[in-house]
Structure 1
């Protein structure tokens, strides 16, 4: 965990500038200690004009930071191109420039860092046993969320010119990162006013392994959202999935979640949105293709 403010500011001074041009600038921070978690790593994008002004910016936190900007650092030689998506969304005039904080996934520990702890605790025994097998260790998403909302956000708001309020703080991720984004949004509503839950992996484990108990998985997510969703109060959520590869399994679960939003009085198109992308696969190129649309809706003024 970040221990002293001086150390946090020193990190800023030592950041490695990866790219500097009129389309924004990337900074990288390696081996950040976080209590109870694997070491964390960040790639941060500063929007065009950041260095030449005193403007303050809203902040977007994104999971799987290694797959956001630089194809040479990505897992699958594919990226979201999050900076390009932000630039495209900004061109409409409806989306302000955002600082993007990309948080790298910690390798083999990704699953246990992104699986929502409160959903894990509420899971039926057979599903929890499969979660345990996939996690290979303690589920630590509660610690990850505490780090996100505490030491990390405090540092970002100190080191950069941010607008730190709830309505200027968003979180976006895909697959297990989609679950983690919903988790952060529901468990820390005072921090995150916007969430993008992209191709969320609602089965939580191999979807073929839970086909026989899909009703209990649906019931888990329905109860989980029902207990935490509350009134919109100006908050906004984007949900989506494709129809190919892993995404082909998500529709029945997404429909349950959509129904819960409607039942809770959230107005579709204003407070929440849910989209299906026909033919879209579960991979970075598919997410990159729709990310400008996601940003355009989720982050609009």
Structure 2
């Protein structure tokens, strides 16, 4: 697994932007606003990006998609690897083509060096024995730099999102209020925190998008870690009712670890008899672990969540 560790280390090594740095992004569709110095009682203060769709009007209300790793969403000229999710282009085109109802996107930047501690599902981590927890805390993302730079605090990140970010957005923008109008999305570690937050706050969201979900949890295959993720989902999936869940994965670079693990999660959903119309698991052979890959297929989960025909599906 040396190659996987190297790839994962490089991807994290690029997360060097400080909290004080707020990239000035440009979008080709819609309009973007930056909320500077958004303060929190639960996590480090940071900025937020708020993307308003083409045709945004004060006379209408909009559903909202909350997305992790906010620096990587809109403008490759400002990202460490010069890639982006192309959220404005993809979502904007779907809206203009009337394939989806218009929606707002809130981009939440990650905690930089604390990203792993912020996104790793906390309760599954704490269900590991103390010896295992300490072993994980000793892992390095690259020589001399810990993978976890602090104790896992994803429960506080979820509180930050649900108790602070959402109320702010719904009070400052023309956002539809209520769980049926809110969605959460991320990739890799952002995929983990998306399903984890959905399970912990099922009354706060209508769906979760989990792309290239990093089921190993760390940079090598670890059956003990994955078993806790799987157990947590099995024990909490009953909290969901009409929420939509989207998974996908490739098999290139870091995604090479995911196919067998995602199949186990798919089997869990099937055995739990989660309604087939409410969840998807898509496989994209040949696709790697990158913003370019996620951008190519982002339209699929967006149509699943926001498609105009969903009420009659």
Q: TM-score, normalised by structure 2?
A: 0.83
Q: Deviations over 1:46-73 (max 9, x none)?
A: 01121x4410000000000000001122
2:193 aligned partner: 180
Residue 163 to residue 16, structure 1, CA distance change in 2 (3 Å): farther
8 Å CA contact 2:67, 2:186 repeated in 1? yes
Once the two structures are TM-superposed, the CA of residue 125 in structure 1 deviates from its matched residue by: 4.6
8 Å CA contact 1:243, 1:279 repeated in 2? yes
Which of 283, 305, 308 aligns to 1:276? It is 283
Residue 16 to residue 290, structure 1, CA distance change in 2 (3 Å): closer
How many Å separate the matches in 1 of 2:285 and 2:131? 32
SS of 1:229's equivalent in the other structure is helix
2:235 aligned partner: 227
1:10 aligned partner: none
8 Å CA contact 1:46, 1:100 repeated in 2? yes
8 Å CA contact 2:249, 2:282 repeated in 1? yes
Structure 2 regions of 5+ residues with no counterpart? 1-21, 139-146
Q: Deviations over 1:219-244 (max 9, x none)?
A: 21221111111165221000011101
8 Å CA contact 2:202, 2:239 repeated in 1? no
1:32 aligned partner: 38
8 Å CA contact 2:189, 2:214 repeated in 1? yes
C-alpha root-mean-square deviation of aligned residues, in Å? Answer: 2.1
1:11 aligned partner: none
Which of 244, 248, 254 aligns to 1:246? It is 254
How many Å separate the matches in 2 of 1:289 and 1:20? 17
Q: Deviations over 1:181-216 (max 9, x none)?
A: 0111110000011100111111111124x3xxx2x3
Residue 72 to residue 189, structure 1, CA distance change in 2 (3 Å): same
How many Å separate the matches in 2 of 1:188 and 1:115? 16
SS of 2:233's equivalent in the other structure is helix
8 Å CA contact 1:234, 1:271 repeated in 2? yes
How many Å separate the matches in 2 of 1:57 and 1:223? 35
How many Å separate the matches in 1 of 2:279 and 2:137? 32
List structure 1 runs of 4+ shifted beyond 4 angstroms. Answer: 15-21, 124-127
2:175 aligned partner: 162
8 Å CA contact 2:212, 2:247 repeated in 1? yes
2:148 aligned partner: 135
How many Å separate the matches in 2 of 1:135 and 1:99? 32
How many Å separate the matches in 1 of 2:81 and 2:171? 34
Farther-moved stretch of structure 1 (131-140 vs 71-80): 131-140
